[in-house]
Structure formats: structure tokens, C-alpha cells
Amino acid sequence: MQLITTDPNHLEYPTATLHYTILGGIRLEGLDRMRVTLKIEVRDRQHEHYLQHPELANLALRHNLDLYNDTQVERLIRKAAERLEVGSTVLTQTIAKLTSELELYRLQEIKAQSNQGEQPRKILNEKERAAAESFLKAPALLKRTNERIGKSGVVGEATNRLLMYLVFTSRKCHQPLHVVSLGSSGSGKTHLQEKVGALIPQEDRIEITTLSENAFYYFGQRELTHRLILIEDLDGAESALYPLRELQSKKKISKTVAHKDARGNTRTVHLRVEGPVCVAGCTTRERLYEDNANRSFLLYLDESAEQDQQIMDYQRAKSAGLVDEKGEAHATELLQNCQRILRPITVRNPYAPYLQIPPEVFKPRRTNAHYLSFIEVVTYYHQYQREVKTDTATGEQYIETTKADIQAANQLLQHTLLRKSDELSGACRNYFERLKNWLGETSKTAFTNRQARTVLRTSPSTQKRYTGQLQACGLIRRATGGNRKQGFLFEIVSPKEYEHLQARIQNVLDDIFEKLPEPKQVAQGTQPDQTTDGPLHPLPVAQNTKWPSGSPQQASGSKTGGAA
């Protein structure tokens, strides 16, 4: 006979003469005990003995005991044998078999629960793999990827969506990148993150709405390794931001806690969770999460009227049944399969010693590391279009960054580097640019806070904060005229300051790219000259040269693989 487990709270074990029922099921924790509530009934009620004693036919024995306790089991056997008039030998044998069946069932349930959070990895068939490889090998990969992202249902945000997709791809790398989406309430931050996140295979992503303070420490040791963690709102994970930052920076977190075992003895348990991980989150409060933001790429959503119109047009088309939902699902599946066939491989950037970030960028050390890592991710995504080389000294296989990868990265990161060079927060910058546009359209040179607040539909408290930032940065100043009753007049110091900053950053990136040496010069070991405009001088480099710690040469190669 076998244990019947159709209802986990009402397990049944029928034998030839008896019928056992485990009321309430069994507890899965504590393998050193097996407490159950047993109901024992006579199965063969048509037996001659029970026909002569009908009072025994409907009799059942209910008993609570630990099946691992011999004393309790012996007491049950004596009691059941006396009350049900069944042989003690039969009871002993059937209870022993029942105990073995319950042990096997419990171990199976524990294993099933431990694997419950793991998504089974999809095995691609030949057709799916061929389609994904063909997509990754075709020219203009980034352009076609961006088009596919649009066909999957992501409306607008052309630069942000491609940049986010590449950042999510970096989860497979040794140095994953992170992203924080910023924008006002209702601007679509969570929707963009959700839609682009859906292009990553389900088995590689974890979606979180809220987190307790110690939640990250109780994941399995390798459960988060090379995973994408999507946090719907950073406000919901505020208490867990510290371990999250450590997981981003150190790629591991650990915690020592006191734990009581089954016997009540207290012992020390060391919890350890390993990365690396790729983290994405959304928030409206940029300054509040500055420590997390400076570890991430900051994506400011498009809140223009044109973007609003695109989204509303899509909503109307979907409501009318005019959206090709099968086409969206096909585009999503294709990009997921492309992610599945990306293999671990090292990326080396021979142009790294020649690359610089604009001097206007705040926190240049961290931004420079992000810039180099993003270039490597672009190369990694093009791995099916790159020659696989082998290091003769170590035998390690790797692919190399091309000038096209750097140019693509510069185009995608231009706006991000611009924001990282801006003294203003993203929300304040959006307010200031709208203010300048309004003044230009109305040919005004001065304004009052009341006028600006009415036109731009901003709350008094928010406008007061923005005005303080703008005055502190010297971007607006008090103009002559106005009074406390009617409102003081303000004027903009330099209406073109943002355009000038944008031009300087673009010029720096263009100048550096134009001065990059040809691949042959890089292969010969050409090193950049110390002067700004001087020629490049070839320097012989020994194969086993060890660069000093922190040198640009040391940073030119990095592990960009690691996830199966």
C-alpha cells in the first residue's frame, strides 16, 4: 500500500485490514520528530467477527503522538489492539510501514519547497536557437534590438529602453551595472522597468515589491548570483538599502545571528549570500537615495507632451484591439532567447588607456568605472560578431572591444553623462528647462514665483525647493522690481548654460573618439602621449608586463562572463 497524498491536510494510508488517516498532515520542519494525529479504523467491516460485534464496525481510534517515540508508539499499539480487537503484530508492522512512507513524503515535500522559488531553465530547440543566433549575428544589432524592444510593447523612451536592456544584460558579467529610473509620479517609471525586465528570462530575474531589513540575508548562498533584481519602488525597500549597496559594491553580504536548535541550545549561524547581481529600482526622490544612485546609471524619463501623446495613442489602440499582441509576445520571446544563448566570456578593451570622461562629471572615479563597464557590455552583447582570441600566456579565451562599440556607448551615455555633470537634481532641471521654454515662448525676461507656479502647475512647497536650488547654483537671481505683496521678480542668469554643458560633453567624447588609434597601432602596443594634441608614440610592451594597481592598462581587461 502507498500513502495517499491528494489532500496534504488529510493523508491516508489503507492496509488490508486497517485504514490510517493523518489528520492535519505533518509538519515539514524538525526532522528529529514526527508528531501526527492518527485516526485508525477497521477496514474490513464485513468480517465475521465484526458482523457478530456491530458496535466495533464504526469504531475509530484517534491519537496524537510522535512516531519517533517508542514509548508512545507501544502505548498506541496496546490501546488500539484492545479497543479495535486487532492483533498487535499487524499494528506494529503497519505503523512501521506508515512511518517510512511519511518520512519519504516529508523529504519530497521539503525538496519541492526548496526548489519552489527557482524557475526551470528553458531548453531551446534547434529552431529557437537558430533564430536567436541569426538575430545576434546580423548587422546593426543595437538598432534592431531597439526596434524589437519597441515591438514588444515599450512605447517611446528609445534611448532609455535600449540602455536599460544592456544594463540588464550585464547581470551575466563579472562587474554588473545597475540602474535607477527617476521621474515624477505617474510618469511610467515602473512600467518601463517592468516591460524591459520582461525581456530577460524569468529564471534570471527576481521581482520585488517590498523588502524587510534582513530579507537579503536569507536567500540561498548562490540564489542571487548573476540575477536581475527588479525593485518596483525603492521606498518599499528602504530598510534593505544598506545590504543592497554592499551586494552591489562587494558582490557579497554576510551576517552572524544566534539560532536555537531543536533542543533549545543557542548556537551561532553565519549567513552568506553571494553576487554579483544587477539591481534596478524606481523612485521619485533622487536626493534621498543618493548613495544608491551614484552606484547606478540614472535614467530620467521623458515627460514631454509628445511622449504623453504616444502613450495615450497606444492605450487607445490596445483598447480598440488594434495592437498585435502575438507580435509583441514573439518579440519578447526572441529577445529572451537571445539572452539565454549569451555565453560567459572575457572582454578586453585595448582602447581603455585612451578613453576619458568629461571633466565636468561629478564623482569621476565611479563614473569612469561605469563608462568602461558599459563599453564592455556593448562588446559582450556583440559576442557572436567578434573573433574569439586566446591569451597565449594563460590560455584564457576573450573578445576585444572595437571602435564601433565605443561609438555606440558614447551615443547612449551622452545624456547620462550630461545628467551626472549637472549640479541640479533631475526634477529641478526639468522644472528649470520648462521655465526657460515658457519665458522664451512669451518673450519674458523676468517672472514671479506665482506666475511660474501657475503656468508650470507646480505646488508652492516644490517650487520653493527648486527656487532655493537654482539660487544656490547661481542660475537665477533677484531682479529689480516687484514686492512682497505682488511677488518678487527673478531672472535667469544664463539661458543657454545647459546647452553649453551638453556641447562641452559631446565635444570631449567626439575628440577622444577621433583620436583613438587604428587597430593595428593598438596591436603594436601604442600608448597615448601625455600631451593633449601630440602624436601617438608606439611603445614596446612585454607580454608579461605587470601594470601598477589602478593604472588604466590594468583596467583594460575584465571578466565579463560568469553566468551559465
* Chain segment 412-450, per-residue pLDDT in tens: 988 888 777 778 877 788 888 889 888 888 888 888 888
Q: Which domain holds residue 160?
A: 126-313
To 10 degrees, what angle do helices 497-514 and 426-442 make? 120
Which pLDDT does position 527 carry in this prediction? Answer: 54
Spell out the long-range contacts of 54-63 with Cβ–Cβ below 8 A and sequence spacing 24 or more: 56/84, 56/85, 59/83, 59/84, 62/23, 62/37, 62/38, 63/37, 63/38
- Based on the fold, state whether residues 307 and 224 are members of the same structural domain: yes
For residue 430, give the nearest of 349, 519, 498 by alpha carbon: 498
Q: C-alpha cell of 503?
A: 556641447
**Where is pLDDT greater, at 174 or 337?**
337
| Residue 320: inside a domain | no
Q: C-alpha cell of 349?
A: 578593451
- Based on the fold, state whether residues 481 and 362 are members of the same structural domain: no
Report the b/e string of 111-142 with b at 16+ CB within 10 A. eeeeeeeeeeeeebeeebeebbeebbeeeebb
**Where is pLDDT greater, at 289 or 126?**
126
- Based on the fold, state whether residues 153 and 206 are members of the same structural domain: yes
Which pLDDT does position 53 carry in this prediction? Answer: 56
Outline where DSSP puts E strands in 301-394: 346-348, 389-390
Is the pLDDT assigned to residue 535 strictly greater than 60?
no
Q: C-alpha cell of 269?
A: 549561524
Domain boundary among 265, 292, 313: 313
**Where is pLDDT greater, at 64 or 275?**
64
Report the b/e string of 374-403 with b at 16+ CB within 10 A. bbbbbbbbbbbebeeeeeeeeeeebbbbbe
| Residue 277: inside a domain | yes
User: How far is the C-alpha of 320 from the C-alpha of 326, rounded, in Å?
Assistant: 15
Domain boundary among 313, 333, 360: 313
- CA dist 399 to 171, 224, 247, 391, 561, Å? 18, 26, 27, 10, 11
User: What is the arithmetic mean of pLDDT over 293-322?
Assistant: 86
| Residue 290: inside a domain | yes
- Residue percentage of the chain with pLDDT more than 70: 85
User: What is the arithmetic mean of pLDDT over 45-63?
Assistant: 61
| Residue 30: inside a domain | yes
User: How far is the C-alpha of 531 from the C-alpha of 436, rounded, in Å?
Assistant: 40
Average pLDDT, the chain: 82
Is the pLDDT assigned to residue 95 strictly greater than 80?
yes
- Based on the fold, state whether residues 265 and 308 are members of the same structural domain: yes
At residue 160's C-alpha, the angle toward residues 475 and 328, to 5°, is 150
- Strand 252-260 and strand 266-274: the pairing is antiparallel
- CA dist 239 to 57, 215, 242, 270, 275, Å? 61, 10, 7, 21, 20
Which pTM value belongs to this model? 0.72
Which pLDDT does position 49 carry in this prediction? Answer: 52
Half-sphere exposure of 31 (CA within 13 A, CB side): 9
Coil, helix or strand for 421? coil
CB atoms closer than 10 angstroms to residue 16: 9
DSSP 8-class letter at 147 = H
| Residue 2: inside a domain | no
If you search the block for the grid coordinates 524587510, which residue do you land on?
212
| Type of residue found at 145 | T
Residues in a beta bridge with 230: 207, 280
**Where is pLDDT greater, at 376 or 186?**
376
- Residue percentage of the chain with pLDDT more than 90: 26
Number of domains in the chain: 4
- Based on the fold, state whether residues 61 and 26 are members of the same structural domain: yes
User: How far is the C-alpha of 59 from the C-alpha of 42, rounded, in Å?
Assistant: 8
Q: What region, left, alpha or beta, does residue 415 occupy, with left being phi > 0 and alpha being psi -120 to 50 degrees?
A: alpha
**Where is pLDDT greater, at 560 or 278?**
278
Is the pLDDT assigned to residue 179 strictly greater than 80?
yes
- Based on the fold, state whether residues 407 and 351 are members of the same structural domain: yes
| Residue 25: inside a domain | yes
| Residue 323: inside a domain | no
- Based on the fold, state whether residues 412 and 464 are members of the same structural domain: no
Is the pLDDT assigned to residue 529 strictly greater than 80?
no
- Based on the fold, state whether residues 525 and 409 are members of the same structural domain: yes
Q: C-alpha cell of 387?
A: 573573433
DSSP 8-class letter at 113 = H
Domain boundary among 466, 493, 520: 493
- Based on the fold, state whether residues 108 and 239 are members of the same structural domain: no
**CATH code (residue 476):** 1.10.10.10
Is the pLDDT assigned to residue 546 strictly greater than 50?
no
| Residue 328: inside a domain | no
- Strand 18-23 and strand 537-538: the pairing is unpaired
Residues in a beta bridge with 34: none
- Based on the fold, state whether residues 361 and 256 are members of the same structural domain: no
- Based on the fold, state whether residues 475 and 516 are members of the same structural domain: no
**CATH code (residue 292):** 3.40.50.300
Which pLDDT does position 357 carry in this prediction? Answer: 84
Q: C-alpha cell of 260?
A: 536555537
| Type of residue found at 139 | P
- Based on the fold, state whether residues 169 and 236 are members of the same structural domain: yes
Is the pLDDT assigned to residue 249 strictly greater than 60?
yes
Which pLDDT does position 479 carry in this prediction? Answer: 84
Number of helical (H) and strand (E) elements in the chain, helices listed first: 19, 19
